């Protein structure tokens, strides 16, 4: 396990170091120490060629460490191929320009590199802050644009911390689906990886072409995991999700469930806001089909709005590799909900579909006994359920005029596809 240099504004242990180098002869360079050495970084002295700037010499030694460093097992924190294009000075700020290969670094490896570059350049006399640029711009995933001594902290994970790789899901600009981003973190042993997953989701994506799925003002108040079930209690800013569009809400919930499933032992997620259970206390499982699974295709379904006044369109991924026709798959999706197990379903889940027949003007659906009782007992919500069913089938070419619903073979109701409860 590699010891790690982290860039944190609020840290437990600040590394003290001298602000000067051995002028004209050598420069101090900070490199990564080998595992088990008891230190995350260690300094060596590197010669400064006659007439060469000390900062440029330091960066070259940081990229290609001297023989004395290699003999001690010290390594460069910079990825292979990274070069120093130049070093300039503006007042007390050293501006380090690196080649484009530096942009390939991310996660904890980027944090290590930033830390060692900053520590090394701050050893140069009169340098009090450091900027690291590629083509005139900072790294898009960098900690911050300007680094000073108070910003560079040394965190030695030692026996109490470890490195972990997280798989996080964000919305892709190009496909409209969830897309995975891998990110490295360093976390203390005993800490909840689930909390880190959510906090990294709140920070948003670092890769180009991905969109955030959670508001950056959101705060995770509590996380509690047991037996593969994770309870997440959010601050009131979760209203931005539950009171927004249903489509954005589905993406946010699916991103949370899929990120936790990919990065931890969590199988299902319970949601709460300020201690109040959401979604009727139902648990959400992993949502398949959102990130390129073969056999899935995109459709438009209608779901009841969060304010209970209308139904609205939501993009959904359906597994079309099975034996059922599309009309049956659409109805089953409305019953199965986001995860296929009934989470936030738009139709009663305690019944089943017996048969579906369609012609050019009408779709006839026969539900098992109990469907009528569920709809009638739901009141206004039941009306929205029927509207969601009619609009979903109509939007996908079924029942272009109306939906006839039977229960155990007996007529129950006819729903028009032009229901007024629809928001188009």
Question: pLDDT tens for residues 244-271?
Answer: 788 889 889 999 999 998 888 889 999 9
Considering its fold, how many domains does the chain have in total? Answer: 3
Residue ending a domain, among 258, 285, 312, is 285
Give the mean pLDDT of the chain. Answer: 82
17 and 65 in a common domain: yes
pLDDT at 406 over 70: yes
**Average pLDDT over every residue of 189-201:** 85
Instruction: Let me know how long the chain is.
Output: 424
> Are the C-beta atoms of residues 153 and 114 closer than 8 Å to each other?
no
Q: Is 65 left (phi over 0), alpha (psi -120 to 50) or beta?
A: beta
| Residue 236 within a domain | yes
Which run of H or of E encompasses 111?
Answer: helix 107-121
The number of beta carbons lying within 10 Å of the beta carbon of residue 415 is 24
134 and 9 in a common domain: yes
| Residue 135 within a domain | yes
What is the Cα–Cα distance from 21 to 128, expressed in whole angstroms? 13
Range of the domain at 340: 299-416
What is the Cα–Cα distance from 410 to 235, expressed in whole angstroms? 48
**Average pLDDT over every residue of 153-160:** 48
pLDDT at 206 over 90: no
What is the Cα–Cα distance from 52 to 37, expressed in whole angstroms? 33
Share of the chain above pLDDT 70, in %: 84
228 and 195 in a common domain: yes
339 and 231 in a common domain: no
Task: Give me the pLDDT at residue 17, please.
Answer: 33
Q: pLDDT category, 23, cuts 50, 70, 90?
A: very low
pLDDT at 371 over 90: yes
pTM summary value: 0.59
**Average pLDDT over every residue of 367-390:** 91
Structure tokens at 261: 């499933």
Q: Are strands 161-172 and 146-148 parallel, antiparallel or unpaired?
A: unpaired
55 and 30 in a common domain: yes
Which run of H or of E encompasses 224?
Answer: strand 220-226
| Residue 201 within a domain | yes
Q: Is 397 left (phi over 0), alpha (psi -120 to 50) or beta?
A: left
145 and 193 in a common domain: no
Residue ending a domain, among 114, 134, 156, is 156
145 and 97 in a common domain: yes
Residue ending a domain, among 285, 307, 338, is 285
131 and 15 in a common domain: yes
| Residue 163 within a domain | no
144 and 55 in a common domain: yes
**Average pLDDT over every residue of 409-416:** 91
| Residue 373 within a domain | yes
What's the gap between Cα 324 and its chain centre? 33
The number of beta carbons lying within 10 Å of the beta carbon of residue 67 is 8
Give the residue from 180, 183, 181, 58 showing the smallest Cα distance to 109: 183
| Residue 291 within a domain | no
pLDDT at 5 over 80: no
């Amino acid at each position: 396990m590699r010891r790690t240099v982290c860039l944190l504004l609020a840290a437990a242990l600040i590394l003290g170091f001298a602000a000067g180098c051995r002028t004209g002869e050598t420069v101090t360079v900070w490199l990564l120490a080998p595992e088990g050495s008891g230190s995350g970084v260690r300094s060596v002295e590197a010669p400064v060629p006659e007439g060469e700037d000390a900062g440029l010499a330091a960066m070259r030694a940081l990229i290609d460490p001297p023989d004395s460093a290699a003999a001690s097992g010290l390594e460069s924190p910079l990825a292979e191929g990274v070069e120093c294009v130049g070093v300039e000075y503006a007042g007390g700020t050293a501006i380090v320009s690196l080649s484009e290969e530096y942009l390939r670094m991310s996660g904890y490896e980027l944090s290590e590199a930033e830390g060692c570059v900053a520590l090394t350049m701050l050893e140069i006399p009169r340098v009090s802050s450091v900027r690291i640029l590629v083509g005139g711009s900072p790294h898009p995933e960098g900690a911050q644009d300007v680094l000073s001594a108070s910003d560079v902290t040394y965190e030695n994970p030692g026996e109490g911390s470890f490195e972990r790789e997280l798989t996080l899901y964000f919305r892709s600009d190009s496909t409209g689906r969830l897309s995975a981003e891998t990110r490295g973190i360093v976390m203390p042993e005993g800490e909840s990886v689930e909390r880190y997953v959510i906090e990294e989701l709140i920070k948003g994506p670092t890769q180009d072409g991905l969109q955030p799925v959670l508001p950056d003002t959101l705060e995770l108040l509590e996380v509690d995991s047991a037996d593969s079930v994770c309870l997440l209690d959010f601050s009131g800013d979760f209203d931005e999700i539950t009171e927004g569009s249903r489509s954005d809400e589905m993406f946010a919930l699916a991103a949370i469930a899929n990120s936790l499933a990919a990065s931890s032992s969590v199988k299902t997620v319970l949601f709460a806001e300020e201690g109040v259970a959401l979604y009727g206390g139902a648990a959400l499982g992993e949502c398949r089909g959102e990130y390129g699974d073969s056999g899935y295709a995109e459709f438009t379904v209608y779901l009841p709005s969060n304010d209970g006044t209308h139904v609205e369109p939501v993009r959904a991924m359906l597994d079309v590799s099975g034996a059922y026709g599309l009309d049956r798959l659409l109805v089953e999706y409305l019953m199965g909900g986001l995860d296929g197990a009934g989470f936030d379903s738009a139709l009663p889940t305690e019944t089943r579909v017996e048969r579906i027949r369609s012609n050019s003007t009408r779709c006839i659906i026969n539900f098992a006994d109990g469907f009528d009782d569920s709809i009638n007992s739901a009141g206004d919500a039941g009306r929205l359920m029927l509207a969601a069913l009619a609009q979903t089938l109509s939007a996908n070419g079924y029942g272009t005029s109306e939906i006839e619903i039977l229960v155990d073979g007996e007529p129950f109701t006819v729903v028009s596809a032009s229901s007024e409860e629809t928001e188009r």
